Amino acid sequence: MTVAARKSTLQTLELQLHEAQALAHFGSWEWDLLEDRVTWSDAMYAMMGADPATFRPSADAFMRCVHPEDRERVAQAAAENRAKGTPYAAPFRILRQDGSVRTLRGASHAVTDAAGRPRRVVGVLQDISDEVAAQEALRSYAAQVVVLSRRLVEVQESHDQALARELHDNLGPSLTALSINLRLIEDALPAPLREQLAATLADSREQVRQATSAMRDVMGELHPHSLDDHGLPAALRVLAGAFEKRTGIRVAVTVSGPERAADRVALPLYRIAQEALNNVAKHSRARNVQIRYTASAMGILLEIEDDGVGFAAPRLDDAEVSGWGLATMRERAAAAGASCEVLSRSGGGALVRVAIGSA
């Protein structure tokens, strides 16, 4: 290859490198330790917001570009890189001459002589400001979702509590009065007529009894009184008993730790257990369920596990599975400051685990 051809090839490679750096927001640099000379690529100048005609790159000049709050950390990393060849890739910020702040991420490599002494350091920097801004926006959005979820849970629970109170204060006395009136009417009837209407009166009393029982069940669903009176473990036992009676699925409740330790987050944890049992009844075809509650100084752990058909992990995003209330459980857990995971495999049952702290 002729000298002209080599020169043309080199120019082509340099042009390609320049375009690649611009597209990827990369800039390259080299530091000759023997002559203390630093060279930057054109993309490096653009990234740093420096004018190649007036700015002379050097180690000190670069450190002056680093954000004051990150300068000490970057200087220490640079010193270790020179002395030991230790790579440094942690993000840091720069403060450009126009006052804008950018976030960079870099990598470097020390070139040593035959004795292993560093002679040159070559490296690249990448502007990741857009990526960092997107991550910050995502974190902010996630925080807003958590706040909104908590607010929605609070509003829903407040509405349920008000409805339960309305049933207790209005419908309850009406059903009690109706039952008393039926008894008074029955007592006031002549014996022949009372005997003639005995079946009708008995059916009316049974209808009132069923309506009263249904009202109490609805009130318990809306706001479980055992939760307020005796704490979460007692409420879980009541919930398990009612579920077992309604579905025929055996439920065992295991409690370890103080009964009132979870009072602050009792309601959302109860709702998660309630939803998990609903999922078992609808989808699992299980014969047995275990509810395990553990409270300690380390935190609180609630687990609901069944021996049903389970589901394959890839189906978690399917429309069918999304309707299982898994999203609702996770939202309630997030609102209580807890983590919630659902573990399952096809044919192997399912486990809902809710943890607060490091329990």
pLDDT in tens, 104-134: 988 887 788 888 887 888 888 989 998 888 8
- Confidence band, pLDDT 50/70/90 cuts, at residue 354: very high
**Which residue is it, tokens 């399952």?**
344
Q: Please answer whether residues 104 and 62 qualify as being in contact, where contact means their C-beta atoms are separated by less than 8 angstroms.
A: no
Stretch 233-258: mean pLDDT, rounded? Answer: 93
Give the bridge partners for 120, in sequence order: 32, 111
Residue 5's pLDDT is 56
pTM equals 0.53
Residue among 242, 354, 251 at smallest CA distance from 294: 354
Residue 254's pLDDT is 96
pLDDT one-digit tens code per residue, 310-328: 876 544 444 444 444 677 7
pLDDT one-digit tens code per residue, 187-212: 899 988 988 999 998 999 999 999 98
Both tokens assigned to 319: 């429309």
The CATH number corresponding to 19-127 among 3.40.30.10, 3.40.50.11540, 3.30.450.20, 3.40.1180.10 equals: 3.30.450.20
3-state SS, one letter per residue, for 177-201: HHHHHHHHHHHHCCHHHHHHCHHHH
**Which residue is it, tokens 């730790």?**
257
What mean pLDDT, rounded, does the chain reach?
Answer: 83
- Confidence band, pLDDT 50/70/90 cuts, at residue 19: low
Residue among 229, 238, 227 at smallest CA distance from 265: 227
- 178's CB contacts (< 8 A; 6+ apart) are 208
Residue 159's pLDDT is 83
Domain boundaries, the chain: 19-127, 129-223, 226-359
Stretch 225-229: mean pLDDT, rounded? Answer: 81
Q: Give the separation between CA 242 and CA 152, rounded to whole angstroms.
A: 27
Q: Please answer whether residues 118 and 82 qualify as being in contact, where contact means their C-beta atoms are separated by less than 8 angstroms.
A: yes
Stretch 280-309: mean pLDDT, rounded? Answer: 93
Q: How many CA atoms lie within 13 A of 60 on its CB side?
A: 2
Residue 323's pLDDT is 47
Q: Give the separation between CA 75 and CA 82, rounded to whole angstroms.
A: 11
Q: Most confidently modeled of 85-89, 178-182, 213-217, 291-295?
A: 291-295
Both tokens assigned to 179: 């039952």
Q: Please answer whether residues 333 and 339 qualify as being in contact, where contact means their C-beta atoms are separated by less than 8 angstroms.
A: yes
Q: Give the separation between CA 105 and CA 110, rounded to whole angstroms.
A: 17
Q: Please answer whether residues 290 and 252 qualify as being in contact, where contact means their C-beta atoms are separated by less than 8 angstroms.
A: yes
- Confidence band, pLDDT 50/70/90 cuts, at residue 336: confident
Give the bridge partners for 352, in sequence order: 304, 342
Q: Is the pLDDT score of 244 beyond 70?
A: yes
**Which residue is it, tokens 């597209």?**
23
Residue 320's pLDDT is 45
- Confidence band, pLDDT 50/70/90 cuts, at residue 302: very high
pLDDT one-digit tens code per residue, 146-193: 777 777 777 877 788 788 788 878 888 888 999 999 999 988 999 889
The CATH number corresponding to 226-359 among 3.40.50.720, 3.40.605.10, 2.40.420.20, 3.30.565.10 equals: 3.30.565.10
pLDDT one-digit tens code per residue, 60-106: 999 999 999 999 998 888 787 667 666 666 799 999 989 999 999 88
Q: Please answer whether residues 287 and 250 qualify as being in contact, where contact means their C-beta atoms are separated by less than 8 angstroms.
A: yes
